[in-house]
Structure 1
Amino acid sequence: MADPVKRRYDTSRRQEQARENRRRILAAASGLFREKGYAGTAMPEVAKAAGVAVQTVYKAFASKAVLLKAVFDVTVAGDDEDIPIAGRDFIAAIQAEPDAARKIEMYLEHLAGSAPAVWPVQLLARDAAAADPGAAEVWAQMRQEMLTAMTYFSADLMATGQIKPGLTAEDVRDVLWTYHAPEQYELLCLERGWSPERYGKFLRDAIVAAILA
């Protein structure tokens, strides 16, 4: 009969090895996507850069599009912990803040800090969507997830009672969603050379002016 302690040890070691492989694959894919683009990156290249077999890559991520979405999710979160964005400390702090303008400022400070890492990955999906059905699905998923997140943020802001009279929760959501789009970062930072800090302050001022009384 197999030793249950040894079996648990072996299982734990395999799980840790799988997590380590996943981290290495994500790091390798992130670098290659940024360097060569989505279309220019092949799964065997990712495997070679990660130091794993290509079968290991496909076992962890069924397709290149799935891998791109995973790279995006980890970049947004800042780690690979199994904690949704809604459960992160910075979201809890925003929800606890009673002042609507300060809520927006706190959110935009976080967004501006993460933008140089996050938005280029999302823009990769957008650009690849025209030619790759898998990337198109990922792009649509990213946009829907952001719309959902801004729906929750809108409800949080509406609850303060500090929104302009006449604006509905859907109006506020749409304003947040529009200013949150990666195209804003693309235009201002990538094309016009703005700093992330200036970009964040611009969005903060624009959103406050648009929706707060």
Structure 2
Amino acid sequence: MRRDTRNRLLEAAEGEFTAHGYPRTTVTRIAASAGVSVQTLYLAWGSKRELLRGYLESALAGDAASPEDAITRFTGLSPRERLVELADLVGEIAERAATGWRLYRDASAVDPDIAADWDELQLLRHRLIARVFEDIPATALADGLTPKAAVDTAWTIASPDSHDLLVRRLGYAPGEFRDWMARTLTAAVLAPDSGADTTM
């Protein structure tokens, strides 16, 4: 199946999912919006669920070739710089993927397969944050905080729900959200005297 057909279907799915939500969106409407037959949709993507997954993965990836590529952004940064960079990365991803996150979360309540996908995506997010933290020495962490607890704390703060609450519900601008996340991550995870000039 040609790449442009798959991409047209992704664009159509994004519009339909955003307008109608996952449960009320039909493959017939997606196919019509993309200008293809329902059979072509199934040949290209297999199912409505796979289209939703493809849409979210595309939004999450952006220009990166793979999620692992994002880790290179943290090379040589001090603990504080790493958390500021993490806040920037989460903000960038959220601007692309906020709608996909919300659709996936809502669809997981009605589709057990999507719920399993959503759980896996959250665990993947946890693993990537653990990679960001793996070179931060325990001595740089807040008093009494273990490396595992630091990762768990950052995973919770840097979550799709935080973006949804602050940006969609309270009207934070993207820059305000990033500033909040950088401040909150630093205060929650790092010792007060962990200097920004200690590179990894």
Q: Which residue does 1:188 correspond to in 2?
A: 166
C-alpha distance in structure 1 between counterparts of 2:136 and 2:100, whole Å: 28
Instruction: Check the 8 A contact 1:167/1:211 in 2, yes or no.
Output: yes
The equivalences for 1:57-206 within 5 A come to 57-79=41-63, 83-88=65-70, 91-94=71-74, 96-158=75-137, 162-206=140-184
Runs of 4+ in structure 1 off by over 4 angstroms are none
Moved more, 68-77 or 129-138: 129-138
Instruction: Check the 8 A contact 2:56/2:101 in 1, yes or no.
Output: yes
- TM-score, normalisation: structure 1: 0.82
C-alpha distance in structure 1 between counterparts of 2:127 and 2:46, whole Å: 25
1:164 counterpart SS class: coil
What is the deviation of 1:165? 4.5
Bigger Rg, structure 1 or 2 = 1
Query: Which structure 2 residue ranges, 5 or more long, are not aligned?
Result: 192-200
CA 1:129 to 1:166, structure 2 compared with 1: closer, same or farther past 3 Å?
same
* Percent of aligned pairs with the same amino acid: 29
State the Cα deviation string for residues 179-209 of structure 1 (Å, max 9, x = none): 1211111111111111111111111101101
C-alpha distance in structure 1 between counterparts of 2:137 and 2:6, whole Å: 40
- TM-score, normalisation: structure 2: 0.86
Where relative contact order (Cα < 8 A, 6+ residues apart) is larger, the structure is 2
Q: Which residue does 2:38 correspond to in 1?
A: 54
What is the deviation of 1:171? 0.6
Instruction: Check the 8 A contact 2:82/2:132 in 1, yes or no.
Output: no
C-alpha distance in structure 2 between counterparts of 1:140 and 1:123, whole Å: 14
- Number of residue pairs aligned between Structure 1 and Structure 2: 191
Instruction: Check the 8 A contact 1:113/1:197 in 2, yes or no.
Output: no
2:23 counterpart SS class: coil
- The code of the aligned residue for 1:24 comes to R
